[in-house]
Amino acid sequence: MKGLVWIVGAGPGDPELITLKGLRLLSEADLVVYAGSLINPEILRHCKEDAQVLDSSKMTLEEQVRVMADRAGKGLKVVRLHTGDPSLYGAIGEQIRALEALGVQCRIVPGVSSLQGAAAALGIEYTVPGVTQTLVCTRLPGRTPVPPKEDLRVYASTGATLALFLSSNMGDEAAKLCMEGGLSPDTPAAWVYRATWPDQRVGRARLGELGQRMKAEHVSHQALIIVGRCLEESRSSLLYDPAFTHMYRKPGHRDPEGDGN
């Protein structure tokens, strides 16, 4: 075995939204490679004073892999920081394969995704009983193609909540495809720009005017688009219905505070 690289989710922006495990590893690391444009530099304050901290946006994949494999091979602690959670559009596969080809093991530490950051900013739940129980994370095709079977129209036709990554410069196109898929122009939609950062901005619009509104607000990058009735409907969850048997609650359960709610 030639060492270990920790792939760590840094969270969506707020430096307090990294896990305790991620923070510990970051504070112990000898080498940290981070995505310069998307990681809040505040988080790097936790690095050791003598840690080597490299911005991956200024390096090729080969350069990143070479330096990480070298330090890991020397028994040093290596952290590769990813924005949000590495499992969503993290492009970690290539890195892991290249490192493993050099005999370096990779372990992943999850992070809070911008998906969750956006829901918190909007004050919503993506899965609302009686409305939808499904959340679709997808994107419009860009440099990375989307398989034809995963056309946005297909998911729009289900009425599930849609979370669109990497598409905020295509609000018009996204709305058009959703409507072609059968959603009415009245369907609630929203965008969250830089969720959980100090300059976070949130906007809501009907699907029919989404593209135009996003353009007017100059939202063209670092934003998630959310589409669906979950944005409006906040029926109380069945889980809190007194008739619903829960593992820890028996039917007829009464609130110990006694107000019946």
Q: Which amino acid makes up residue 136? A: V
Tell me which residues in 201-230 interact with ligand SAH (CB under 6 A): 222-224
CA–CA dist 166, 142 (Å, integer): 8
Q: Which of 22, 40, 77, 85 binds ligand SAH (CB under 6 A)?
A: 85
Q: Tell me phi and psi for residue 234, to 5 degrees.
A: -125, 60
Q: Please report how close the Cβ of residue 118 comes to ligand SAH at its closest, in angstroms.
A: 6
Which residue's C-beta sits nearest to ligand SAH?
Answer: 84
Nearest by Cα to 107 from 68, 79, 75: 79
| Tokens 């790097």 found at | 44
Please tell me whether residue 194 binds ligand SAH under the rule CB under 6 A.
Answer: yes
Q: Please report how close the Cβ of residue 14 comes to ligand SAH at its closest, in angstroms.
A: 9
Indicate the residue among 89 and 176 with the shorter CB distance to ligand SAH. 89
Q: Please report how close the Cβ of residue 194 comes to ligand SAH at its closest, in angstroms.
A: 5
The site string for ligand SAH over 115-144 (x = CB under 6 A, - otherwise) reads: --xx--------------------------
Please report, as ranges, the residues that interact with ligand SAH according to CB under 6 A. 12-13, 38, 83-85, 88-90, 113-114, 117-118, 165-166, 168, 192, 194-197, 222-224
